[in-house]
Amino acid sequence: MPEKILVIDDDPLLLTLIQQSLERDNYTIRTAQNGNEGLDLMEKIKPDLIILDIMMPGVSGWELCEVIRRTSMVPIIMLTARGSHNDIVRGLQSGADDYLVKPFHQAELLARVSAVLRRVRANPIASTEPLSFGGGELVIDPGDHKVMRNSEEIELTPTEFNLLLFMADRPGRILSTEVIFDNVWSYDTEANVESVKWYVWRLRKKIESNPSKPKYIITERGIGYRF
């Protein structure tokens, strides 16, 4: 069954171009030109992926991403016209899984879509049994795609989940940001180090009792991270 993608952008020409490009790759595409319409469609069709423009009238893409994240962990690719560091960081902080800077080549769009959906489907770790840390304080279940802290389930985006699993399956090993990126993201981007940094920051906020003094995801300065 073709995967469903919801594209939300106020530019009708760009919507048409994205729709035509993705439909040629056998995806099922639905489009919306504002946030409210996008939220309605999301509830109706339950998309496998959302492509979301940042700069829209009324509710911005950042705000819409935060609203979506309150109820759904569907992967999100954000589109930005400016491509500034602050825009990218804000998108990742809002809960986006990836971003594309306009103008972009259609081949790049297809590659990003394929990579994000592949991350959702793939399991980047060797273990299939639940992983337990801190005397059972943190439990990661690869089979059910669940993470529990103190017996309460933590909601993670697909990318956050795969990143946590990749590190947790290699306890004690120092993993460079490049190694993490190559295994979890598996495609080229100029901001790979920053992406890993911000996803680690987000994970710490969710799994650590004191994110400023983490006991699970430890920074190895100048190299990367150790779980």
Segment 168-225, tens digit of pLDDT: 988 888 888 877 887 787 655 544 667 888 889 999 999 999 999 999 999 988 888 9
pLDDT digits over 65-106, tens only?
888 888 787 889 988 876 666 777 777 777 788 888 888 899
Domains of the chain as residue ranges with CATH: 4-121 (3.40.50.2300), 131-226 (1.10.10.10)
Task: Report pTM.
Answer: 0.66
Q: Which 3-state string (H, E, C) describes 98-156?
A: EEEECCCCHHHHHHHHHHHHHHHHCCCCCCCCCEEECCCCEEEECCCCEEEECCEEECC
- DSSP label at residue 84: -
